[in-house]
Amino acid sequence: MPGSAEHRLVLQSRFDEVARAEAAVLELAEQHGYDATAQFAIKLSMEEAITNAIKHGNQMDPAKSVTVTYSVTENLARITVCDQGGGFTPNGVPDPTLDENLEKPHGRGIMLIKAYMTEASYSDCGRCLTMIKQRDCRLPEQA
């Protein structure tokens, strides 16, 4: 199984839709040999990204959807989450680790995604988040 085609899911703006997307991506990750640590990172990041898209992007509007596009190969998982909201400036979110923000509920999801994924970048005025998880390089055993 050398690679994986790009897949696309359209989710309703409901939190119970998060698990459906996670299951689809994690099934491919498992098939491609991603270990439990990498699968946890993908699951946590997807949960945060999709939840943010539903809550903050789409403002819980049932008429709006969240699109998840993903592909998984033996070396790389790429997941893009797009909402239909008004967008935002990712750099404008306060740093949740600063003393003055410790008790504020915003920014932790973005921080977790950046910590657990190899790359995370926003596009379309903050409406789309592309996350990449690269598997650790495995060197051949030396004789």
pLDDT digits (tens, 9 = 90+) for 20-46: 999 999 999 999 999 999 999 999 999
Beta-ladder partners of 70: 7, 79
pLDDT tens track for 47-97: 999 999 999 999 999 999 999 999 999 999 999 999 999 998 877 666 655
Beta-ladder partners of 10: 67
CB atoms within 10 A of CB 102: 8
Q: Is 76 in contact with 132 (CB distance < 8 Å)?
A: yes
Supply angle C-alpha 96, 102, 107, rounded to 5.
25
**Of the candidate ranges 16-20, 111-115, 135-139, the one whose mean pLDDT is the lowest:** 135-139
* Domain layout of the chain by residue ranges: 7-134
3-state secondary structure of 18: helix
Name the nearest CA neighbour of 117 among 107, 109, 125.
109
Is 7-134 in CATH node 3.90.45.10? Answer: no
Name the nearest CA neighbour of 65 among 1, 9, 142.
9
Per-residue pLDDT at 48: 95
Q: Is 74 in contact with 6 (CB distance < 8 Å)?
A: no
Q: Examine the pLDDT at 139 and tell me if it is beyond 60.
A: no
pLDDT tens track for 97-134: 566 656 666 667 888 999 999 999 999 999 999 999 99
In the numeric block, which tokens belong to residue 101?
A: 């923000």
- For tokens 């190969």, the residue is 73
Per-residue pLDDT at 68: 98
How far is residue 121's CA from residue 130's CA, in Å, rounded to a whole number? 5
